[in-house]
Amino acid sequence: MSREGLNRRSFLTGGAAAIGGAALALGGRAVWDEEPVPMPAPDAVGQATEEFRGIRQAGVSTRPQAFASFVALDLRSDVDHDALVRLMRIWTDDIERLSQGRAPLADTEPELGAVPARLTVTVGYGPAVFRAAGLERLAPAWLRPLPAFTVDRLEDRWNDGDVVLQVCADDETTVAHAVRLLVKDARTFVTVRWLQRGFRSTPGSTPPGTTMRNLMGQVDGTRNPDLGVEPELVWQPDGASDALAGSTSLVVRRIAMNLDTWDELDRDGREKAVGRRLDTGAPLTGRKEHDVPDLDAVDANGLTVIAPFAHVRRARDDEHPEQRFLRRGYNYDEAPAPGELSSSGLIFATYQADVDTQFVPIQRRLDELDLLNEWTTPIGSAVFFVPGGARAGEYLGQRLLES
């Protein structure tokens, strides 16, 4: 019976499951008025939670929730080390409660706080936090704006920031409420610089484990590392210094898609531009999404099947396997500008242990030659240090701020 129970439980999407009448399946009396089988609770999506406490922050290796808001904030001029500690204490308490479905103390809409929906809030720091805290000596060398790329058309309204909140949940009302509460509780410390809202598929919309599609129709994010096998691609080791243990970095690039010109390209041209099939996401040299692209394969004419300019070739350098990172992107779709049909794109959010050695070389290669550049334009860019998580009794950022 336990194995059966496990099988059933593994099918349930949420944490809560009403187990009823399991004995029936073993040949017990049929009591028709009882629900004879375990079913997901009707609010399983809303009541599921993610763990907040730990040496690493949640929201990085967490299976991506359906919705995300990225909020960049600027520190007010009088914020110093002590003020940062106060802010982090407030946010730690808020985030812990919200993520567990318990309304924070200052929550004026506690009913909106009762649907955690796997909420995670991930806090990141720009260079200004290290300056304000008097900890410039601890700021990683890569914590600065990315080098300029020729494809960039950056707009200042989507760039940089002193602090970032990545707020993710499987319910958009939950995200809106958490953002409002966290910004409100920080109003004496920070002002809002920019806010980007994104989405993926709804839970239950596609089978679990399906890689998301972006609004160009591509399977997006296939080649994510397995952090169980290669945690060092994202995380500073648990045994690193207090300032670094469990930390990582977040790059947020806002990538506009020119769907009007993309529409002019036929299906074959689109697949050649990426090097993958549109239907399955498989490389043009393979059959399944996760097949490894064969960059040397040639067709009957002796040309490489995956073209020199294809995105998968340019994004990949098998001689430098460290040049990989965790992608955790979200689609955006806003009201079109006057005369336009749409305003769509991708919030390209990536996590990596070191921006300079992992992220920048790939972007340089893509900047030099990547056919996708024809239809995509980076219009925003920001880099943040993501401090380690709060273990029991700690506040977020404590090990760094007390270093």
Active-site amino acid positions: 220
Count of chain residues binding a second copy (CB under 8 A): 79
Among 188, 201, 241, 403, binds a second copy (CB under 8 A): 201
Is 347 strand, coil or helix? strand
C-alpha pair distances (Å), 196 with each of 158, 165, 329, 382: 8, 11, 12, 12
Question: What is the Cα–Cα distance from 309 to 315, expressed in whole angstroms?
Answer: 10
Tokens for 398?
A: 């404590």
CB proximity list for 319: less than 8 A, separation 6 or greater? none
The answer to whether 90 and 177 are in contact (CB under 8 A) is no
Is 271 strand, coil or helix? helix
Residue 129 Cβ, how far from a second copy at the closest point, in Å? Answer: 20
Question: What is the Cα–Cα distance from 213 to 219, expressed in whole angstroms?
Answer: 4
Residue length of the chain: 403
Residue 50 Cβ, how far from a second copy at the closest point, in Å? Answer: 15
Among 61, 304, 342, 377, binds a second copy (CB under 8 A): 342
Residue 303 Cβ, how far from a second copy at the closest point, in Å? Answer: 26
Among 88, 112, 165, 382, binds a second copy (CB under 8 A): 112
By CB under 8 A, residue 6 contacts a second copy = no
Q: How many CB atoms lie within 10 A of CB 385?
A: 26
Tokens for 33?
A: 């008025």
Q: Pick the piece of the chain touching a second copy (CB under 8 A) from 43-51, 91-99, 288-296, 350-358.
A: 43-51
Among 58, 66, 123, 245, binds a second copy (CB under 8 A): 66
Closest CB to a second copy among residues 111, 296:
111
Among 83, 85, 138, 259, binds a second copy (CB under 8 A): 259
Is 33 strand, coil or helix? coil
By CB under 8 A, residue 138 contacts a second copy = no
Closest CB to a second copy among residues 219, 244:
219
* Residue ranges in 156-185 that form contacts with a second copy under rule CB under 8 A: 170-174, 176-177, 179-180, 183-184
Question: What is the Cα–Cα distance from 378 to 350, expressed in whole angstroms?
Answer: 14
By CB under 8 A, residue 208 contacts a second copy = yes
* Residue ranges in 300-339 that form contacts with a second copy under rule CB under 8 A: 331, 333-336, 339
By CB under 8 A, residue 8 contacts a second copy = yes
Closest CB to a second copy among residues 187, 320:
187
Residue 136 Cβ, how far from a second copy at the closest point, in Å? Answer: 29
The beta-strand segments (E) located in 120-233 are: 120-125, 163-169, 190-199
Which of 178, 396, 155, 175 lies closest to 256 in space, CA to CA? 155
Residue 80 Cβ, how far from a second copy at the closest point, in Å? Answer: 23
Question: What is the Cα–Cα distance from 290 to 282, expressed in whole angstroms?
Answer: 7
Q: Pick the piece of the chain touching a second copy (CB under 8 A) from 136-144, 243-251, 259-267, 347-355.
A: 259-267
Closest CB to a second copy among residues 75, 143:
75
Closest CB to a second copy among residues 34, 238:
34
Closest CB to a second copy among residues 203, 388:
203
The answer to whether 122 and 175 are in contact (CB under 8 A) is no
